[in-house]
Structure 1
């Protein structure tokens, strides 16, 4: 920031000069005390410069007594898993108050490698919201997987200093970390001292200690209050997840209160467009948490200030002078009913989205099958006695390892609807081989 920009902020904040924009007559929800404070909010460029006072502005947004809270921060998601581009994601979730999102383009990187990181970092420079990127740390997730690409430490280091990159995304190869796998060690060393996201479902005790000793600081995989409490006590920031597939909020919110809220944030990981349209995004998580008994102070603090602190985004998370002007205006605090959103000092509207430069997506031709797949390719032969079965738990990503006796017809092991057991297949789509994984799933 130039000296003249700093001077402008000082002059407008101190009232010597008319502010660029003033949001007039709002009730600021104070994330320190949880009280509502009547005020104007003065904005210079993309920064808040005045609160708890009255101001004049070249542009005035009438608050009409609405409640002003800081913009929401989704701390972990995969935009491509919401089945839309970053630009459509921007248009879908920003009106719900999500002014910052931290994405890991892992699903796309697992197919394309560096072109996926190129695409997301370039797209993030053009979205209205502040889309931040954590670099996909495990491509492939483990050596057991056939991925479309491989990302080594040197590949990731090429993006470390990009202005939209925060650090290293979810380190899901837990055995690799704990056993000192050289590939894992090289990546952890390359990003030591920076932000490294965790991914540690069910990890407890000494194994959790070893994992944290690698410099990993966050986790979105806690599914019980006991697991989450151990993790925050050991210094992790627990990201409470409520998405389309994984729904952990009800299990974890008993831990969330004004005392503990600095150690919890929210994430979606991920929500599909229909649920975004019908229920919302982080506004839905806040609304649900409050309906389950969480105090509004704890819910809104976790959705903004705590999230900002966890990821080193010191310029946001509060409506306060010097902070980024990401502001959500609410008609109702407990219901989190969003009526207007200001992103970097700009009122969010259709014209703002229309002014973006849209870059074309990549990977459209990435499905490469060596030969057509037929029904016969899906058949499972052998004995039906005590076949391994993947168990599904509603709303969770954890899968119990089950066994079941299944019927056999003409040498082919059959699914069994009476036991709620279906056949499942995974077809290699990268063109490297013609592998098909075949199995059964219950639930």
Structure 2
């Protein structure tokens, strides 16, 4: 690479230099006019930055396979991701992690992984798999695994749940990173959570929470995804140049990746918010590389992987070319098969009726957060049905408000984290018809009205992902969104928002096939006796009374 303006995030410098690459790694950086090279790329004064690293992302939430995800983000400068595949692992167990790593190797990206710590996310969920400490310890030894993924079950951590602590012990024994997920946890509870051995958190939503995490020794992952957007609120903290911080996307949909970008758009927001460009670049290069122990990633420097991105400016971060291992990056074209993980709603589905207990509170849905509010009984305008998709024949219903849906049904086989089938709005007949459509697709997203399928997106990989090219997948998702809006839905990303209405570790109300969950109180509401909690299996959860409500995404 000749005539580049090299961005050096480790020192905050931007300086003119040539870059010599040999064997996929950087051999030299400087004025190399006499160096011999088989090929020369003329930078012509463009900016050369290290390839961007997403330190916490759920590839499945894009609805794409790793190859499809690569097709969407390589052109935005992302070269490396640390995938947290607890979506596919909740459906298929350990073989879901193995598949993610295998598919990553042929994707065109560098895909590392972390081992899901909460499968299922809590005792209120039953998905397709369960991982205990023994299984977690085995998976932590897989090549390409960098640590234990987000520990969402903070009540189990703080309450001394033996199974949770056994998983933490397996993580500590591995010597790898232990990712945190401390939604809404503050004060002494946060200190106790950090003392359990966790190393990071991506759930801060206010500057106070962010600073509290940094003071507790946790790395701060500032999240900006499709369902939860925290960057603007946390920019004041990033302007203070914290030593241990990074930007992550967490969950981002394919349409937003194509329309708005990936980590490049987060850096645009940082620079617009007052950060020096080199400091913004550090948040997606050397900082996440240091956190994850990727010691030959994150800098344009001798011995490092020749993963870098050529930019036309450091304001908009327009990508001219992305390189992985010194070669122009290209997404993979093949994805390994992934049997299993379809939709089985049980034998009674075609006769099902979906009444809601009259005394139950209403789930208030927000258009740009995955937390929900609590409304008075009778104030809802669209039903939500969550049905077990693993053949157990269970479902539950509640009322929601805030979606705007006035007719028809939006249905989805992606429901964090157990990934049940979710149905928003509609008559009993439309809900049943949507269930039949999901079953026939083997998983996906559909909109049904009057028994007719208006739009659909098949997700044949574990009911979570498609192998369609990103542009076609985004077009299909756009059709789903347009069909939902034609029925009154006013959510900007209805599929993404719906996918979080069953996540049992995010307040305040969430729906599982076993009933409506009050996350703050950590109890299922009894369908027959107003106000009396119903613990799963008749057992107390053991959650400590001092714990506050969680407040972030997975």
Which category describes the TM-score, using the shorter chain as reference length?
Answer: 0.7 to 0.9
Q: Name the residue aligned to 1:353.
A: 332
Match of 1:398 among 363, 367, 371: 371
Give 3-state SS (helix, strand or coil) of 2:283's partner: helix
Cα gap change, 1:108 to 1:158, in 2 (>3 Å):
same
User: What is the distance in 2 between the residues matched to 1:232 and 1:105?
Assistant: 26
User: What is the distance in 2 between the residues matched to 1:266 and 1:258?
Assistant: 15
Quote how far apart the aligned CAs of 1:440 are: 2.2
Structure 1 residues 380-419: aligned runs within 5 Å: 380-383=356-359, 387-400=360-373, 402-406=374-378, 415-416=380-381
Please say if 1:442 is aligned against 2:401: yes
User: What is the distance in 2 between the residues matched to 1:390 and 1:207?
Assistant: 27
Q: Name the residue aligned to 1:296.
A: 277
Structure 1 residues 18-417: aligned runs within 5 Å: 23-54=1-32, 55-192=35-172, 193-257=175-239, 259-260=241-242, 262-349=243-330, 353-354=332-333, 358-363=335-340, 365-371=341-347, 373=349, 377-383=353-359, 387-400=360-373, 402-406=374-378, 415-416=380-381
TM normalised by structure 1 equals 0.86
Asked if the contact 1:115–1:362 (Cα under 8 Å) also holds between the matched residues in 2, the reply is no
Asked if the contact 2:267–2:280 (Cα under 8 Å) also holds between the matched residues in 1, the reply is yes
Cα gap change, 1:93 to 1:176, in 2 (>3 Å):
same
Asked if the contact 2:19–2:26 (Cα under 8 Å) also holds between the matched residues in 1, the reply is yes
User: What is the distance in 2 between the residues matched to 1:218 and 1:381?
Assistant: 40
User: What is the distance in 1 between the residues matched to 2:198 and 2:358?
Assistant: 44
Quote how far apart the aligned CAs of 1:286 are: 0.8
Cα gap change, 1:82 to 1:47, in 2 (>3 Å):
same
User: What is the distance in 1 between the residues matched to 2:71 and 2:318?
Assistant: 18
Name which structure has the greater RCO, CA cutoff 8 Å, separation 6+: 2
User: What is the distance in 2 between the residues matched to 1:437 and 1:76?
Assistant: 32
Quote how far apart the aligned CAs of 1:376 are: 5.3
Asked if the contact 1:40–1:51 (Cα under 8 Å) also holds between the matched residues in 2, the reply is yes
Give 3-state SS (helix, strand or coil) of 1:328's partner: strand
Cα gap change, 1:358 to 1:374, in 2 (>3 Å):
closer
Give 3-state SS (helix, strand or coil) of 2:139's partner: coil
User: What is the distance in 2 between the residues matched to 1:358 and 1:146?
Assistant: 28
Deviations 1:235-255 (A, max 9, x none): 111111111111111111111
Deviations 1:109-135 (A, max 9, x none): 111112211211222232321101111
Give 3-state SS (helix, strand or coil) of 1:158's partner: helix
Quote how far apart the aligned CAs of 1:161 are: 2.3
Give 3-state SS (helix, strand or coil) of 1:222's partner: coil
Give 3-state SS (helix, strand or coil) of 2:361's partner: strand
Give 3-state SS (helix, strand or coil) of 2:390's partner: coil
**Deviating 4+ runs (over 6 angstroms):** none
TM normalised by structure 2 equals 0.69
Asked if the contact 1:119–1:362 (Cα under 8 Å) also holds between the matched residues in 2, the reply is no
Give 3-state SS (helix, strand or coil) of 2:349's partner: coil
Give 3-state SS (helix, strand or coil) of 1:162's partner: coil
User: What is the distance in 1 between the residues matched to 2:363 and 2:293?
Assistant: 39
Quote how far apart the aligned CAs of 1:375 are: 8.5
User: What is the distance in 1 between the residues matched to 2:339 and 2:79?
Assistant: 25
Please say if 1:429 is aligned against 2:389: yes
Q: How many residues align?
A: 398
Asked if the contact 1:25–1:63 (Cα under 8 Å) also holds between the matched residues in 2, the reply is yes
Quote how far apart the aligned CAs of 1:220 are: 1.1
User: What is the distance in 1 between the residues matched to 2:307 and 2:202?
Assistant: 24
Cα gap change, 1:139 to 1:70, in 2 (>3 Å):
same
Structure 1: stretches of 5+ with no match in the other structure: 1-22, 408-414, 417-421
Structure 2: stretches of 5+ with no match in the other structure: 403-554
User: What is the distance in 1 between the residues matched to 2:59 and 2:339?
Assistant: 14
Give 3-state SS (helix, strand or coil) of 2:2's partner: strand
User: What is the distance in 2 between the residues matched to 1:162 and 1:344?
Assistant: 23
Quote how far apart the aligned CAs of 1:258 are: 6.5
Quote how far apart the aligned CAs of 1:374 are: 5.4
Quote how far apart the aligned CAs of 1:372 are: 5.5
User: What is the distance in 1 between the residues matched to 2:5 and 2:205?
Assistant: 36
* Structure 1, 365-374 or 56-65: larger mean CA deviation: 365-374
Give 3-state SS (helix, strand or coil) of 2:70's partner: helix
Quote how far apart the aligned CAs of 1:160 are: 1.7
Question: CA-atom RMSD, angstroms?
Answer: 1.8
Asked if the contact 2:362–2:398 (Cα under 8 Å) also holds between the matched residues in 1, the reply is yes
